[in-house]
């Protein structure tokens, strides 16, 4: 069993009211609600780190022309239109054009999309 530490924190009244409302709606204790919220932030940060690692790896070792050999000319043309190929905002992948990035090892498919 995980070791539990009790902490005292200060919150603005409206934030505490929101927490109390939501924890009653969800049927869990205030402590459980806050714990889940913090775990969610932690999970989101980890997923963001994994996304950044994926993008960094892609930039450092992009696929070669050889690896794209199976694509037909129309697919190659559409890939050339991607923002990072045009030198545009490389940190904002156009998922509407390319879909989801590959699932990191050990993560359920679509988990990053559900968490966001």
Per DSSP, the three-state class of 37 is helix
Q: What is the pLDDT of residue 31?
A: 93
Q: Domain of residue 72: give its range.
A: 13-115
Residues 12-37 have pLDDT tens digits of 999 999 999 999 999 999 999 999 99
Q: 90 falls in which pLDDT band (50, 70, 90)?
A: low
Count of the separate structural domains present in the chain: 1
Flag whether 1 is in a domain.
Answer: no
DSSP 99: -
The whole-angstrom separation of Cα 107 and Cα 91 is 22
Flag whether 5 is in a domain.
Answer: no
Q: Tell which wins on pLDDT, 42 or 63.
A: 42
Surface-to-core class of residue 70, CB atoms within 10 Å of its CB (0-12 exposed, 13-18 middle, 19+ buried): exposed
Q: Is 0.85 topped by the overall pTM?
A: no
């Amino acid at each position: 069993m995980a070791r539990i530490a009790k902490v005292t924190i200060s919150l603005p009244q409206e934030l505490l009211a929101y927490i109390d409302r939501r924890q009653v709606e969800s049927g869990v204790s205030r402590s459980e609600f806050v714990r889940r919220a913090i775990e969610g932030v932690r999970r989101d940060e980890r997923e963001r780190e994994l996304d950044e690692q994926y993008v960094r790896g892609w930039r450092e070792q992009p696929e070669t022309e050889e690896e794209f050999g199976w694509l037909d000319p129309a697919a190659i043309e559409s890939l050339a239109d991607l923002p990072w190929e045009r030198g545009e905002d490389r940190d904002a992948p156009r998922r509407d054009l390319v879909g989801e990035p590959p699932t990191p090892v050990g993560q359920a498919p679509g988990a990053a999309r559900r968490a966001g």
